[in-house]
Amino acid sequence: MRIFIFHLNMNPVSKIYFILIMLVIILFSSCTKRVNYSEIPAIEYESFIGLYNSELGIYDRGVITVNYTDGDGDIGLSQGDTLAPYNPESRYYYNFIITYFEVRNGVVTEVPLLSYNPSTQEYDTISLSARIPILTPPGRNKAIKGMIKDTIFIYNFNSDFDTIRFSVVLVDRALHESNTVFTPFVVRE
């Protein structure tokens, strides 16, 4: 830090005000802390809330909420991000990866959710994962933290098992994968 000494042609009271103003500016500029997070995103489970569908008489959707941090702020994809490695056939087409599990005879089992497609007369796999839009903040400090809420389909009409849970992973544009978090076990009604 450089210190400049100069002479001001001011009366003594003006000089005191000037010095006080400069001290306040220096004080406030030194209070800004730079936040340092890892460049690998980190997530923390916050909550899961089931949503009741009164027409069907079941909880068929739920809202999963996670908190996140990322040191370089490269979270999110634009609609145009569809070329490799973000192409639809890739694991990284989605950057908020949600996996569905059922407890089957006491064993936690990953289960694909299927929906019957009358056009093809076959079952299609339903993806619970999502594409989070770009969250990169403006400015030099790109470190970010926040909360992601996503509404997902939770009812497996093709299963008689009633205890489920979900895992979540967040992926940044550099393909760094966060830690995996799990919801608690949820009993479908």
CATH number (domain holding residue 54)? 2.60.40
* SS3 category, 19: helix
Residue 34 placed within a domain: no
Q: Are the CB atoms for 176 and 85 separated by under 8 Å?
A: no
Q: How does residue 3 score in pLDDT terms, banded at 50, 70 and 90?
A: very low
Residue 91 placed within a domain: yes
Reported as a single tens digit per residue, the pLDDT across 100-147 is 999 999 999 999 888 878 888 888 788 899 999 999 988 888 999 999
Query: How much is the average pLDDT of 34-47?
Result: 92
Query: How much is the average pLDDT of 26-34?
Result: 59
Specify the number of domains making up the chain.
1
- At residue 114's C-alpha, the angle toward residues 112 and 115, to 5°, is 160
Residue 176 placed within a domain: yes
Query: How much is the average pLDDT of 56-80?
Result: 95
Measured CA distances, 57 to 49, 54, 67, 186 (Å): 16, 5, 31, 17
pLDDT over threshold 80, residue 162: yes
Residue 136 placed within a domain: yes
Amino acid sitting at position 89: E
CA distance 171 to 2: 43
Residue 23 placed within a domain: no
Residue 35 placed within a domain: no
pLDDT over threshold 60, residue 1: no
Range of the domain at 59: 42-187
Residue 164 placed within a domain: yes
What is the overall mean pLDDT for the chain?
A: 87
